Chains A and B, each alone.
Chain A
Amino acid sequence: MLLAVLQPWPEGNQPTDAALMERLLQRDASALETLYDRYGRPVYSLVLRISQQPASAEEIVQDVFLQLWRSAERFQISRGPLEPWLFTMARNRALDFLRLKREKQRRREDSTDSDLPFSAVIRPDPEGDIDMSRRSEKVRALMSSLPGPQRRAIELAFFEGLSHSEISAAMGEALGTVKSWIRGGLLRLRESLEEARS
């Protein structure tokens, strides 16, 4: 009973992501529909924040969900968590677009990121995980609590895809300071998400 209360999607007996991916494997488009209703908004928000162009964001989101449709079999095999995989793929594709737009597209060191295996991401204690809106509040609260420059450095790394040295140049801060801000902020995010689950 306790587990049922702590399921990620308890409202109205919503199907789990894994169940929907099983149905996707059977080419059930209504499962894709449900997954889009669940994740379309945060994925679009992320891609729009990175690309800054609604028409391009729409194209990238469509590409991400169609990739999900095509990759259902891989999910079936490894049964990793879906949400971080979707977010990671959406971020990578939006950053690719951004780099192309800036005419300085460079080969990513980890060129397989867009096809990150589901099993490469672990959502700790998935059955005890908290729902997306609460996690969203946690992440936003944490980011707001960071000093402005530290928050800015993390945003430039995540949403703009800039490296440590590019961020250092953009902010006019020493490289060591930038590294320390990003490392400290990310560790606080880790702790905050761990606290949220406890």
Chain B
Amino acid sequence: MDCEQLDLLYEEYALGILEGEDRAELEAHLARGCAKCTPGVAKARYVVSQLALAAPEAEPPAALRGKILDAARSSASSARSGTTPVRSTVTSIEKPQVKRPMFPAWAWAAAAALALMTGYSIRQMELQTTQLAELHREMNLATQQSKALQDQLDQGRMVASIMMSPDSMSLKLMPKDKNMPMVHAYLNPQMGVAITAAEMPAMPPARTLQLWFVPKAGKPVSAGIFRPDAQGQVTLVAPVNMPMDEIAALAVTEEPAGGSPQPTSAIAWMAQKN
């Protein structure tokens, strides 16, 4: 494949979805520093990065700015007050001994012991560096898991608040398939809509469930997407993004991962509001 043909694949490569022979061909060009493909892929990375600008605009929490700056300042100050870097210790161990014309036997033995100790120390430091990197990776993983749990907890609290509010309206979404469980929904004009269900079957990763507000007139409006967790539990909290009195029904459909602008499959669960 020549560079002209590969030119059509640069963006797919930058997106990370190019596979098989096409990917291997392009990587071979990049590996030998191809004068056309190397800058071509670098430009494609820019083009693909611009898809970020297609994300719906969202305002970050006001506190986030302060958190980032505090963390940065804190890391800067701890770096200033840090101890002697490990690298300098290695350097001091590795400093050559002053040469003398003759060595007594004990000096050779000491030098050998020192060399052994130096080698051992370096190996230990390499081991510790690897262990530290592994610990760091595990810590990041644990932080992400903890964050996901916190999200679930927050969502659970929100569901409970909506369920217990006297202003909430309770609805039961009946399944079209009688083997499927019922989905409970709680509509609150201020707090949003919460839905819960249990014993839901697992879904393939490429599919999702999507909740819709069905208006008295017009097209359904998406309220959010959700999937059963590993235990078959379902929870979703979403804002009520249309006037309550215009909602005629709530419906759930199965959609491709990420949801759809309009339903693309038959209604799987439904409840009339009134």
Contact = CB atoms under 8 A, between A and B. Distances in A.
A40 B95 CA distance: 48
B65 A190 contact: no
Contact of A139 (B46, B51, B206): B51
A61 B67 CA distance: 11
B67 A62 contact: yes
B166 to A, nearest CB: 27
A161 B141 CA distance: 19
B49 A83 contact: yes
A123 B141 contact: no
A41 B59 contact: yes
B76 A56 contact: no
For the complex, would chain B's binding face be called helix, strand, loop or mixed by DSSP majority? Answer: helix
Contacts of B65: 33, 36-37, 40
B130 interface: no
Contacts of B257: 156, 160, 162, 170
A169 B204 contact: yes
Contacts of A124: 43, 46
Q: Is the interface on chain A under 10, 10 to 19, 20 to 34, or 35 or more residues?
A: 35 or more
Interface stretch (B147-155, B178-186, B242-250): B147-155
B60 A152 contact: no
B224 to A, nearest CB: 9
B53 A53 contact: no
A166 interface: yes
A45 B56 contact: yes
A52 to B, nearest CB: 8
B260 interface: yes
A23 interface: no
Contact of A135 (B48, B50, B207): B50
B50 A58 contact: no
A58 B151 CA distance: 11
A45 to B, nearest CB: 4
Contacts of B204: 169
Contacts of B141: 100
Nearest to B143: A59
Nearest to B59: A41
B205 interface: yes
A10 interface: no
A195 interface: no
Contact of B58 (A44, A155, A170, A182): A44
Contact of B47 (A27, A120, A189): A189
Contacts of B67: 58, 62
Contacts of A49: 55-56, 58
Contact of A158 (B51, B64, B75): B51
B33 interface: no
A104 B202 CA distance: 14
A189 B46 contact: no
Interface string B220-255: 000001000010000000000000000000000000
Nearest to B22: A179
B17 interface: yes
Contacts of B93: none
A11 to B, nearest CB: 18
A197 to B, nearest CB: 11
Nearest to B16: A110
A43 B235 CA distance: 27
B21 interface: no
B44 A190 contact: yes
Nearest to B204: A169
9 contacts: A29-B76, A32-B72, A46-B52, A56-B148, A88-B48, A136-B53, A156-B257, A157-B15, A166-B206
Those 8 A-B pairs whose CB atoms lie nearest each other, nearest first: A170-B206, A84-B49, A186-B11, A44-B60, A49-B55, A122-B42, A136-B53, A170-B256
Interface of B: 8-9, 11-12, 15-17, 19, 39, 42-61, 64-65, 67-69, 71-73, 75-76, 141, 143-145, 147-148, 150-151, 154, 204-207, 225, 230, 256-258, 260-261
Given A116-B45, A119-B42, A183-B11, 11 more contacts: A41-B58, A45-B57, A49-B55, A49-B58, A62-B71, A102-B205, A121-B45, A140-B53, A159-B55, A189-B50, A190-B43
